[in-house]
Structure 1
Amino acid sequence: METRARSLLKAVLWQVIGLVTTTLVGLVLTGSAVVGGAMALANCAIGLLAYIIYERLWVHIRWGRLHG
């Protein structure tokens, strides 16, 4: 088990890695750092929203849960 602070730091760093890589891919594909950055921010926002919805849906699925 890890602390909440460690989990939070890992999540933030993972998001930063995702933002940087998406920005670089956008830069390579479009030739514009601004467009690449906008793509990265849009991806981050959409991904966050999708993840929240995904998690909320899984709350209602009982399959695979261990009770006891």
Structure 2
Amino acid sequence: MLLFRGKESNPRSLMKAISWRTLGSIDTFVLGLLFTHDVKAAGAIASTEVVTKILLYYFHERAWAQVGWGLPKAEPEEDKGDVLPQQDSVPT
């Protein structure tokens, strides 16, 4: 499937998604706590969004891995073949 090929490996994208989601879940918990003043409600909010946001981020990363916009262009390799390097001719 085209979505799963890119410049980064699938495991790398998955680990990035998990680490980002951990940080995001802490933020969601703190915000939930600030708005509800209830640890149980804040925990419920943070825990239910973890799985969906990991999956959304993972697919978002894989989709962006297919986009070349904003990335440096790769230099084409020259075909050197079997040609020996030129040597300066020195008269004898």
Q: 1:59 aligns with which of 65, 75, 79?
A: 65
Q: TM-score scaled by structure 1? A: 0.57
Report Cα offsets for 1:11-67 as digits up to 9, x if no partner: 74x82x543332222122123211101111223223211110111111221222331
Higher helix share: 1
Letter paired with 1:45: V
The match for 2:55 is 49
Select the structure with the greater relative contact order (CA < 8 A; seq sep ≥ 6): 2
**Structure 2 unaligned runs (5+)?**
1-14, 76-92
After TM superposition, which residue ranges in structure 1, 4 or more long, deviate above 4 angstroms? Answer: none
**RMSD of aligned residue pairs (Cα, Å):** 2.7
**Structure 1 unaligned runs (5+)?**
1-7
SS in 1 for 2:69: coil
Letter paired with 1:50: L
Larger radius of gyration: 2
